[in-house]
């Protein structure tokens, strides 16, 4: 079937570029699978190629932006100072993404963030990107909590209780 033909998917008529929805993963949110945070963003023209499709590298930016919004919503910072005035941060130690369907210029995308694992020194977060009921992509990022010892030198350290207690409370929410 070419993209110029009509088709039906989940009782809705679709045409053209929406044909890819047939191949995308459709699944409503079950309350037990609710993300710890969700944000919405609109695809900007500068994030697309000439076909108006989001360039894959932007999903890594979207993950980081959602992470920052999540931290702000909890009253936390991605880059801050310890009580002694020294600096801490969360450098990325691993990142991955898989793509199911393209996103296009001017699409509104929901980014769903779920904390998968928190250790004393790291945080692993999964991301899902949705346009309506169509899952566009998934991603995962692992960050390490680090003390900035000197410019350009980081040391992984245990997260202080003020951070772990807030993250644990967020993870406990239904």
Burial annotation 14-50 (CB, 10 A radius, 16+ → b, else e): beeebbebeebeeeeeeeeeebbbbbebebeeebbee
Residue carrying the six token digits 């699409």 = 107
* Residues forming the active site: 49
Q: Which two three-digit tokens encode residue 71?
A: 């931290």
Residue 17 CA to residue 39 CA, distance in Å, equals: 25
């Amino acid at each position: 079937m070419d993209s110029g033909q009509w088709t039906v998917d989940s009782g809705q008529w679709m045409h053209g570029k929406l044909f890819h929805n047939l191949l995308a993963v459709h699944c409503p949110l079950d309350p037990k699978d609710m993300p710890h945070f969700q944000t919405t963003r609109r695809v900007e023209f500068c994030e697309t190629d000439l076909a108006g499709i989001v360039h894959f590298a932007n999903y890594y930016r979207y993950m980081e932006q959602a992470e920052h919004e999540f931290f702000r919503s909890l009253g936390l910072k991605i880059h801050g100072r310890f009580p002694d005035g020294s600096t801490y941060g969360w450098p990325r130690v691993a990142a991955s993404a898989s793509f199911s369907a393209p996103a296009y210029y001017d699409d509104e995308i929901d980014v769903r963030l779920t904390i998968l694992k928190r250790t004393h020194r790291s945080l692993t977060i999964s991301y899902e990107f949705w346009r309506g009921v169509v899952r566009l992509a998934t991603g995962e990022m692992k960050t390490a909590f680090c003390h900035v010892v000197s410019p350009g030198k980081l040391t992984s350290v245990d997260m202080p209780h003020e951070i772990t207690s807030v993250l644990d409370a967020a993870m406990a929410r239904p």
